Every structure is written in structure tokens, then in C-alpha cells.
Amino acid sequence: MAPAPWKHAVIGTTVALLLGGASAVQAQPDKPDYPWSVEFGLGWDNGISGQINSSGVGELNNQVVVITNNSFEDVYGNGLHIRFGGGYMFRNDTEARLTFTFQSLDADFIVPMGDIGVSNLYGEYTGYQAWGIDLGLRRYGDIRPRIRGYGEVTIGLAIIDETDVTLVAPGANLAGVASDFYDQTSSFTLGANVGLLVQAGERIGLFGQIGLRYVGGMSDVDNLSATGLDDINDKSARWTLPIIAGIRYRF
């Protein structure tokens, strides 16, 4: 399936702004009084797209099995999103940034996975956790004397923890069979955010933002290769809509 046009737009905007920021660093006009900053943000990780498992037909326990697809939202729902990092403002309206991001989703549900023989098949996934490091460029615009809007783009790398699934089929004598599903993975990340920064003091500000974040797919485990189900865990890239609020300190 070809990527949606808006995904191409996010990628194109990221490349253009990062290249533009690199050339702007050389000029360095209008340098602010407190160019360095650190910030901490906390919020929700709202899933948009991505499949924790795709559909397929194969064999388990010498029985025919039909797997139906499950999205990340089916298994995890919304999760925790934490970000902390810092930046350097080389102009009054432009800032280069380095941010660490933590995404954590708890698997609170036992989800239908399909059928095996004459029985329903269910799965319970372990949690999804990812640590990321992002390089970015942020541009500010004045709205009122103490309020600034901003837009930013980021590109980076995330380390995603191993993910397992436990399969249960009461009518097929399949009880608590644990399976490695995804290995620990290094994945490409891409993001775009818009937000508001309210200056609470000379150096302290409060911010809120909403954005799009892409995290690449996880590394599938090959223990399904002899079952005919080896392609049900190869579409695990995901897009999310993080909503963050936090505090910022300049120095």
C-alpha cells in the first residue's frame, strides 16, 4: 500500500526545515539574552495507525489457525508520553533542539486473535515501551507580548523493547502458550508539532503542544516461519498523536 499523501508532506516538511535551519545557524543574527533552554513535558500517546499483528492463515498445534489483524489501539489504547531535553536559540525565533522521548503503553486487554480448529483464539500482549532521541528545529512566532506560538519538526531513532504474546484457545487445548513476537528494535522516528509557549517569568515558561509522531516497525521473530504465519508481524510501524504539556527554563 502506498503511503498517504499527508505522510509524504510531513517528511518533506521535516527535510526542508532541517536544511533551512542548518544554513541559518551560520548567520546567527538577533541572538537572545538566554539562548539555552531545558524543558520537560508529560502527556498522552494517542494512536492513529499501525498493526500489532496482521491477518494470516497457518497451523499451530497441528490445527488450522486463522489470525485476524489487531491495531495497536485494539491491544493498548492510549499510553504515556514523556519528553525531556534542551535547545539552543541561535535566533530570537529559531531554536535547534535535542529531545529524549519515552512512550509506554500497557496491554490491559485480552484480545481476539482469530480461530484455531473449532475454538476461538485469544492473545495477551506484553507492554510496548520505546526510548527515543530526536534532533529538531523549532520556529517561534509572537502572538501576544508573553505568548508565542511555535512549530517544530524532528527526526531521530527509537529503541523499542521486546514484545511477547501469550496465546489461549480453551476449546483447542491451547493454554498459555507464550511466543516471542518482536525482538528489541532500533527504529527510525519522525515528528511534527505545533504548540503555545506562555512566558510565566523572565526565564520560566509553560507550554502545551499537539503533533504527529512516526515510529518505524519492530523486528519480527522467526519462530513463526514454519507455521505459515511468518508475515503477521511485519507491519508494526505506527503513527501517533501525542498531546503534551510541560515547563521550560531558559539560561
pLDDT digits (tens, 9 = 90+) for 28-53: 456 788 899 999 999 999 989 999 98
Over range 91-116, report the average pLDDT: 91
pLDDT digits (tens, 9 = 90+) for 54-64: 888 888 778 88
C-alpha dist (Å) from residue 164 to 2, 55, 77, 80, 129: 29, 17, 17, 20, 12
β-strand partners of 126: none
Instruction: Name the residue among 141, 240, 157, 144 with its Cα closest to residue 195.
Output: 141
pLDDT of the residue at 117:
86
pLDDT at 221 over 80: no
Q: 14 vs 55, which has greater pLDDT? A: 55
pLDDT of the residue at 193:
97
pLDDT digits (tens, 9 = 90+) for 123-133: 999 999 999 99
Count of beta carbons in the 10 Å neighbourhood of residue 40: 13
Banded pLDDT at 25 (limits 50, 70, 90) = very low
Banded pLDDT at 208 (limits 50, 70, 90) = very high
All structural domains of the chain with their residue ranges: 5-250
Instruction: Name the residue among 234, 248, 237 with its Cα closest to residue 48.
Output: 237
Banded pLDDT at 194 (limits 50, 70, 90) = very high
pLDDT at 19 over 70: no
HSE of 200, CA atoms in CB hemisphere, 13 A: 9
Banded pLDDT at 197 (limits 50, 70, 90) = very high
pLDDT at 225 over 90: no
pLDDT at 110 over 80: yes
pLDDT at 134 over 90: yes
Percent of the chain exceeding pLDDT 70 equals: 84
β-strand partners of 119: 116
Tell me the whole-structure pTM to 2 decimals.
0.80
Over range 146-170, report the average pLDDT: 93
Does domain 5-250 fall into CATH 3.40.50.80? no
